[in-house]
Amino acid sequence: MRAVVQRVTEASVTVAGETVGSILGPGLCVLVGVTHDDTPETAAALARKLWSLRILEGEKSCSDLGAPLLVISQFTLYGDARKGRRPTWNGAAPGPVAEPLVDEVVARLRALGATVATGRFGADMKVSLVNDGPFTVLLEI
Active-site choice (6, 14, 75, 118): 75
Q: Is 76 a catalytic residue?
A: yes
- Catalytic pick among 6, 14, 35, 74: 74
Question: What is the tally of helices (H) and strands (E) in the chain?
Answer: 3, 5
Catalytic residue among 76, 115, 118, 136: 76
C-alpha torsion sign, points 77, 81, 87, 92: negative
Query: Is 74 marked active-site?
Result: yes
Q: Which amino acid makes up residue 54?
A: R
Active site residue 121: no
Rounded to an integer, what distance in angstroms lies between the CA atom of residue 107 and that of residue 34?
A: 16
Catalytic site positions: 74-76
